[in-house]
Structure 1
Amino acid sequence: MAAGRGAELLRPPTSSGRATFLELFFDLAFVVALTRVSQRFATLSDDTGWALVTGFGRTLLLFLALWLVWSHTAWITSRYEPEQPIIQAVVVGTMFAGLIMAVTLPRAMEERALPFTAAYLMVMVVRPVVIAAALRGHPRRLVPIRLAVWASASAPLWLAGALGPDRLRLPLWAAALAVDYLAWALGWPLPWLGVSKVGRWRIEGTHLADRYQQMFLIALGESILVIGVVFSGADYSAERAAAFAVAFVTSALLWRIYFYRAGLLLTQAFGRAGMPGRLGAVLERTHLLIVLSVLVTAVGYELVIDHPTRVIAAIDRLASASAVAVLDTEIASAAVLATWFRPRSRCAGPPRHASESRSPDVSRPIGEAGPSSGCPRLRSASSSATRASTPATTLSPAIGVQRANAGVNSSRATKPIMGGRETRPKISYSSRIRATRKSIGPPTTNSSQLGRGCPNAG
C-alpha cells in the first residue's frame, strides 16, 4: 500500500516529454545566475598571472555548484511527475535557493559565502530527504537517501569554507564540490545499499533532452543580453557597430550549429537508446562544457564591443572562446551519432563475417556492402581493386595486341635486373585508358551522385 502511494510520484509512460511551465518558471532563476557568472568572468579581463588563475578558478567553482543544482532538478522532473503537488513544491523551493545563490554569487567568495552555502546545502541535503519521505515505501526512495547521505558528508567542508578564513575557502569548497561530483559519477555508493548508477535510471529521455536544449538556449540568450546591454551603454562608432554585428552573427551560428546538428538528434537518439540514463549522463557532462563555453564567449563579446581599438587581443579571445563552443557542440553531435543514433545504410562497409563473402549477394543482409553494392564509392573501389589484382594481359585484348606490335621479348621482360626488380613492357598511358574503358564498358554512376559519396553513408 505504501509503495502504491509512492508510485503516484513517478512519471507515467503516457506523460508528455515536453517541459512544463513550472520548469520554464524555474529556469528564470538560472537566467539571473548565468548572467552573474558571465559578469564575474568579465571582471577578470584586466587580471594577469596568478590573479587570473585564482579568479577563474573561483568563478568556475561557483558555476559548477549552480550546474549541479540545475542538473539534479532536471533529472528529478524527468523521473517524477511534475504535476504532483509535492514535486511542484520541491521545484519551487529549489528555484528560491537558486535565486539566493544567484544574488550572492558576485560576492560569494567573500562576505556572502554563508548564504550561498546555506542555499546550496538546502538543495543538496534537504530536498532528497523530502522526496524520500514522499515516496514512502517505494523501492525508489533509496536513491534520494543515497543523495542525502553523500551531501551530508560534503556539508562540513562547505560550512568550514564559508565560516573559515578567506584563504581556505577556495580549497575547502573545491574539495567539497569534488566529493559531490565524484558521488554523482560513482552512483552514490553506500555499504548497506550498494550503488545506483545514473546510467541505469528510468527516465523520460525526451524530456531530459528538451531540458538541456533549453539550458543551451538560456546560455545563448544571456550572450544576446550582453550584446544588447554593452552596445547600448557605449558610445556609438563604426568600430563598435561592426563588433556588435560580429557578436550577433557568432551567436546565430552557435545556435545553428547546435540545433541543426547535435540538438536536433537528441530526441531521436533517446528514442532509440536502450539505456537512456546512460545517454543522459553523457549529455550532462557535454552540455556543461557547452554552456560554459557560451558564457566565456559572451565575455569575448563584451571585450570586443567595449574596446574595439584593442581589436587584435579582443578578437583572439573571442575566436578562442567561440572555437571551444563549436568544438564542444561537434563533440556532442559525434557522440550522439556514433554511440546512440545509427541509422541503417546500404553502404555500411565490408561483411562482418568471413562466410558472408562467399555467399551470393541475395543473401547478404541489408546494410552490408558487397562487390555489387549500389554505392558508387564502394563500387568504384571494388572495380579498382579488381583491375589492380588482374594481370595486365587479361584486361583487354588491345593490350596484348599492343605488346605484340611492340615486339617485346617475353624472356627479356621477366629477366631480373638491379636488386631483383623486373622490367615490364612499356605501354602508353592513353592505350591503358582506352583498353580499360573498352573492357569495363560505359559508366553506370548517376550524374546526380558525381562529386559526392553514397547518399546513405554517414
Structure 2
Amino acid sequence: MPIELFFDLVYVFAITQLSHLLLGHLGPAGAAQTLLLTLAVWWAWMYATWTTNYCDPDHPAMRLTLAGMMLAGLAMAAAVPQAFGARALWFAAAYVTLQVGRSTVVAIAARNSPHGHLFRLILIWHTAAALLWIGGALAGGAVQVLLWVTALAAEYAAPWHGYRLPFLRRSGTTEWTIDGAHMAERCQLFVILALGESILLTGLTLAEGDHLSAATVTAFAVAFLTSMAMWWVYFDRTAEAAAEKIATSADRGRLGRSAYTYSHIPIVAGVIVTAVGDELAIAHPLDTTTAGIVLTVLGGPALFLAGHAAFHRTVFGDLPAGRIAALAVLAATALAALLMPSILTPLVLATVAVLVVGTVALRDRRPPARGTAVAG
C-alpha cells in the first residue's frame, strides 16, 4: 500500500478536530478560528502533496521524512481544540516542524537538481513564516491572531508570485514540472476524506440520539443524500476530465497551483461546514433556526459549490451557470431563514440544501467527451 495513504490517516483525525471545533464554537470568533486552522492544516497537507509529486515517496529517505511529518501532523491535529489557548505553542511548533523540516530535507536532497532553486526559495519563505507562528504562540491573545494571519497570508501569497525574494530569481509555474495525474488524485482523495468525516458525523449523531422521531430520521436521510450529492457533483464528471486536462497541459504547474492548491480550499471547507450543519439538523430538526444553523446548513453547500465553480473556471475556462443559480437559491433561502426563523426549521433548510446540490448533480449526470470542457 502506498505510504501516502498511510500518511493521510493523520488528516482524517485533523478534519474531525476541525469539524468539532466549529460545532462547539458557532459564533464569529469560533468560525474565524476554525477557518484559520483549516487553512493551516490544508497548507501542511498540500505541501506534502507537492513534495511527493517531485520526490519518490517510497524512497527510504522520503519514507522517514513522511513518518516524521505524520508525527508532527498528529501533534498539530491534537492541538487544534486549544490552538488559541493552552496549546498555541504546541500547534505552532508542530506546524513549523512540518513545513520547515520537510522543506529542509527536500532542499538538501534536491540541491543539485533542476528544482533545487525552487525548494531553497520555499525553505526561506517557511523559515521566515515560522518566526511569526512561534512569536504569535508565545504572545497569545490579539497579537497571536495578528501574527498567525500574517504568517498564513505570506505563505499563501508565496506560490502566487513565484516565491519572490530580494536578489534571488523567482520561480515561474512553467518550471514546476509536476505529475498532473498525481496532483489530481491526491486532491480527490482529500475530498473523499472530508466526505468521510461528513458520513461519520452524520452516523454518530443518529447513534447518540435518545429518541428517533420521524423528523430526526428524515434529517439523517437528507444529510446522507447531501453528502452523496456533493460526491456526485465533484466526481461524476469534473474530477476525471480535470485530471486529464492537467496531465496534458503545457503549464501543469499553473493548474496545480490555481486549480488544486487554491480552488480546492472552499470545496474542502464546504464539506466540513456541511457536516457540522447536518449534525445540527439531525440533533434539532424542528427547532427554531439560529444564525449558526443557517450558515452551516446552507453555507456549507454554498462554499462547496462556489469552490467547485472556481475549480471548473480555472481548469476549463468557463463559469458553470448552474452552480451560480444554485448559489443564488441558497443565499435567498438563508436570508429568508434569518428573517423568519420560526418558519424555516433546520430540517427545511437541510432539505433545500440537498435539493439544490442534488439538482446540480443531476444536471451533470452524463459524462463529457474526453479532453473537452464540461458545461455547468
TM class by shorter-chain length? 0.7 to 0.9
Distance 2:189 2:281 in 1: 27
Report deviation, 1:311: 6.1
| Candidates 23, 37, 42, aligned match of 2:23 | 42
2:247 aligned with 1:268: no
Aligned positions of 1:217-366 closer than 5 A: 217-235=192-210, 236-282=212-258, 283-310=260-287, 312-313=289-290, 314=293, 317-338=296-317
Cα deviation per residue 1:392-425 (whole Å; 9 max; x = unaligned)? xxxxxxxxxxxxxxxxxxxxxxxxxxxxxxxxxx
Report deviation, 1:315: 6.3
Cα deviation per residue 1:84-141 (whole Å; 9 max; x = unaligned)? 1112222221111111110111111101011111111112212211112223433422
The amino acid that maps onto 2:312 is: S
2:2 aligned with 1:27: no
Q: What TM-score, normalized by structure 2, do the two folds share?
A: 0.80
Which stretches in structure 2 are left out of the alignment for 5+ residues? Answer: 319-368
Distance 2:123 2:312 in 1: 34
Contact kept? 1:262, 1:330, Cα under 8 Å: no
Report deviation, 1:190: 2.6
Q: CA RMSD in A?
A: 2.0
Distance 1:300 1:124 in 2: 32
Over 3 Å counting, the alpha-carbon distance change for 1:198 and 1:72 in structure 2 is farther
The amino acid that maps onto 1:54 is: A
Cα deviation per residue 1:152-200 (whole Å; 9 max; x = unaligned)? 2122211111111323211111111111112222221233431113453
Report deviation, 1:312: 4.9
Contact kept? 1:262, 1:332, Cα under 8 Å: no
Which residue in 2 is equivalent to 1:153?
128
Q: What TM-score, normalized by structure 1, do the two folds share?
A: 0.66
Which residue in 1 is equivalent to 2:56?
81
Bigger helix fraction: 2
Contact kept? 1:263, 1:333, Cα under 8 Å: no
Which residue in 2 is equivalent to 1:189?
164
Of all paired residues, the percent bearing the same amino acid is 37
Contact kept? 2:269, 2:303, Cα under 8 Å: no
Of the two structures, which has the highest relative contact order with CA contacts closer than 8 Å and spacing of 6 or more? Answer: 2
Q: Secondary structure at the match of 1:185?
A: coil
The amino acid that maps onto 1:68 is: W
Contact kept? 2:110, 2:119, Cα under 8 Å: no
Distance 2:32 2:289 in 1: 26
Say how many residue pairs are matched. 318
The runs of at least 4 aligned residues of structure 1 exceeding 3 Å deviation read: 311-317, 455-458
Contact kept? 2:271, 2:300, Cα under 8 Å: yes
Which residue in 2 is equivalent to 1:427?
none
The amino acid that maps onto 2:105 is: V
Contact kept? 2:255, 2:314, Cα under 8 Å: no
Distance 2:302 2:237 in 1: 16
Distance 2:205 2:102 in 1: 38
Over 3 Å counting, the alpha-carbon distance change for 1:216 and 1:240 in structure 2 is same
Report deviation, 1:216: 0.5
**Which deviates further from its counterpart, 98-107 or 79-88?**
79-88
Over 3 Å counting, the alpha-carbon distance change for 1:149 and 1:335 in structure 2 is closer
Distance 1:25 1:94 in 2: 12
Q: Secondary structure at the match of 1:184?
A: coil
